[in-house]
Structure 1
Amino acid sequence: MIIQFIITIFLCVVASYYDIKKGIIPDKISIFLISFGIVSNMILSLLSGNLKHILASILSLSLTYLVCYLLWRLKVWGGGDVKLLTGIAAIIPFASIPFLNVFPELSIYPFSFSVILNAILISFPFLFMMIFYLNMKNMIFNRNTELLFNLINYKNFLFFIKSNFNRFIPVKDLEEGMIVNEYYFNDKQIIDLINDSKGNLKVYRLNDDSNYSYYFKSISAGGLTEKDMFLLKIMNSQNIISDYISIKLGFPFAPFITIGLLTAIFLGDIIMVISKNMVLVV
């Protein structure tokens, strides 16, 4: 049990480093967490003669993946975050921490859900600080005061992210997991190359009166696959596309997952803590 917690915390810290440094969470980390979770809980079930460990691990893993996958489809976060949270769910399905001398506020849902909720709540102050920094840097809200007051609106928030979380990089520097913004073109050869690759890039037709007929972009928050990355680099080397391409700057969420994990272990579910304190006050 102690080994499970130590390994989970250590690998989440490593995942956070990669997410901050490179903007991606290596699949090897998440795959190891998921595999280790299933194997370690199977061993615990065999040693204790109780199937609850492995059954809880599989149930927690499945529920967490389903919820996180839906959030991924809504473009709330990237595929790396989904896999990392699924790995945590596989290793730590229960919310009981027997080896600690603290008694965290537990929840009625899987432990991984407490990690998710903690991570989201903890990330809010940092997100607002980032918004404030971008405004000071780019004077966004000075040009559009309505956006500031309506930022809580989902469409306005997406507009803000799309407008300010982008940068141009050389095609040769593309890495797996990067999210490509709209790249406009007229060359029909690009359509065939992207459609044949069957990756995470998709071509769309423009119906307006612009100078371009088509554009392609990443389909989901999962970003570029290895095949996509090499295809774009080959097209660039053959002068089919330009030397620079626009990518979305992802908000590194792995550090908040790690903090959410530590908070859940030593303090518990923040929602439950707040709810209990509100009840006591009332």
Structure 2
Amino acid sequence: MEMEIHTVMAAVMAVGVSIALLTDLTDLKGGVIPNRLTYPLVSLGLLVHIGLSLSSGDWAPLLSSIEGAGIGLGLGFLVHLFGGFGGGDAKLLGAIGALVPKPLPPLIGTSVLFPSLPTYPISTIVVLMNGLVLAVPFVAGFALYSLAKGRGVIAKEVPVSSLEEGDIPNQTVYKSGSSVEAGGSPASEDAEVYGDPLDSQGFDRETVALLQDLAEKDKAPSTLEVRRTFPFAPVIATGTYSMILFGNLYLRLLAALL
């Protein structure tokens, strides 16, 4: 029975990794992870664990999948609220939790430290930690490259005519009298705010159209600073692959340093 479960989970992971690769491509190309990729992943994870529960007569696998999805989604949206993940990234992390709620034994090497951790549905925490550990050198390289080219690491200046839905301003954009200002603080608490750096949703479509119209009438800046977007789908996918192969990289590094 245990061998059958491992076979099923291996097949699930193969499908999950294939779909995760597609999310990498869509995130890198367009900065979006569509629901048509994340929702089937969640459904697949739940259906597989329903099957495991029915075949074993134990509802623990299904409950674990639900908990894993909840932890992944909650963790993802927590990062989303602080301006990190986009909504698609959060849903992708929840989908990984539904597919593989508990960390699997690594294919290479053995688990280190805290051997009881795999009994809890915390695979998404391991995925996120692994992804961030592996992303550090790439982020550092990108930062050095941007500085060498004289570009902003966190933000870039773009023409208002090129603004897109979802762009996050690096400064507060607000109405001041009959025009629009960027930077500083509104003179009044009742002033209309068009863009807030702390709002991870960014500009909506109507606001983009309004700002572009006002810029054409010289009532808004012709350029705005917007946050550089970082595709997190590859971070999540890399964290998943490394968890399958090596387990918890953070704990491995910690064990190596102790």
Give the aligned partner of residue 54 of structure 1: 62
**1:253 counterpart = 2:232:** yes
What does the per-residue CA deviation read over 1:246-268, in whole Å, with 9 as the maximum and x for residues that have no partner? Answer: 53221112112111111000111
In structure 1, what is the Cα distance between the partners aligned to 2:14 and 2:178?
53
Q: Contact between 2:104 and 2:247, CA under 8 Å: does it hold in 1?
A: no
Name the CA shift for 1:37/1:253 in 2 (closer, same or farther; >3 Å): same
Structure 1 residues 135 and 6: alpha-carbon distance in aligned structure 2, compared to 1, 3 A threshold = same
SS of 1:174's partner is coil
Aligned residue in 2 for 1:119: 131
Letter in 1 for 2:186: L
C-alpha deviations, 1:204-235, integer Å up to 9, x for none? Answer: 96129xxxx754215522335xxx21x23553
Q: 2:210 aligns with which of 235, 238, 242?
A: 235
**1:221 aligns to 2:200 (yes or no):** yes
Q: Which residue of 2 is the match for residue 146 of structure 1?
A: none
Structure 1's consecutive aligned runs of 4 or more residues displaced over 6 angstroms after TM superposition are 187-190
Q: What is the CA–CA distance in structure 1 between the aligned matches of 2:161 and 2:96, rounded to whole Å?
A: 34
Q: State the SS of the aligned residue for 2:58.
A: coil
Cα distance between partner residues in 2 of 1:171 and 1:31: 34
Aligned to 1:264: 243
Question: In the superposition, relative to structure 1, how do residues 81 and 42 fare at CA in structure 2: closer, same or farther (>3 Å)?
Answer: same
| Alpha-carbon distance in 2 for matches of 1:214, 1:232 | 12
Could you say if the C-alpha distance between residues 260 and 40 of structure 1 is closer, same or farther in structure 2, counting changes exceeding 3 Å? same
TM-score, normalization by structure 1: 0.70
Report SS of the residue matched to 1:166. Answer: strand
Aligned partner of residue 223 in structure 1, secondary structure: coil
Change (3 A) 1:101 1:124: closer
Q: CA deviation at 1:96?
A: 2.2
Cα deviation, residue 278, structure 1:
3.8
**Aligned mate of 1:276, from 244, 248, 255:** 255
Partner of 1:77: 85
| 1:168 aligned partner | 158
Structure 1 residue 37 displacement after superposition: 1.6
Q: Secondary structure at the match of 1:216?
A: strand
> Whole-Å Cα distance in 2 between the matches of residues 52 and 139 of structure 1?
51
Mapped to 2, the partners of 1:139 and 1:246 lie a distance apart of 12
- The alignment of Structure 1 onto Structure 2 pairs a total of residues equal to 232
Amino acid paired to 1:122: L
C-alpha separation in 1, matches of 2:167 and 2:98: 27
Deviation per CA, 1:1-58, whole angstroms, max 9, x where unpaired?
A: 2231012111211111122111222222222222222222112211222212111011
Structure 1 alignment gaps of length 5 or more: 141-159, 191-203
Equivalent residue number for residue 105 of structure 1: 111
Say which structure, 1 or 2, has more relative contact order (CA 8 Å, 6+ apart). Answer: 1
Name the CA distance, whole Å, in 1 between partners of 2:125 and 2:70: 12
Aligned ranges 1:192-207 → 2 under 5 Å: 206-207=186-187
SS at 1:168 equivalent: strand
Tell me how far 1:277 sits from its aligned partner: 3.0
AA aligned to 1:235 is: L
Aligned residue number for residue 178 of structure 1: 167
State how far apart, in whole Å, the 2-side matches of 1:28 and 1:244 are: 34
CA distance in 2, matches of 1:139, 1:59: 42
Of residues 38, 41, 47, the one that matches 1:39 is 47
Give the conservation status (yes or no) of the 8 Å contact 1:34–1:87: yes
Distance in 2 separating the partners of 1:101 and 1:252: 27
Aligned partner letter, 2:164: L
TM-score normalised by the chain length of structure 2: 0.76
Q: 1:255 to 1:5 in 2, by over 3 A?
A: same
Percentage identity across paired residues of the two chains:
22
1:170 offset after TM fit, Å? Answer: 5.6
C-alpha distance 244-72 of structure 1, shift in aligned 2 (>3 A): same
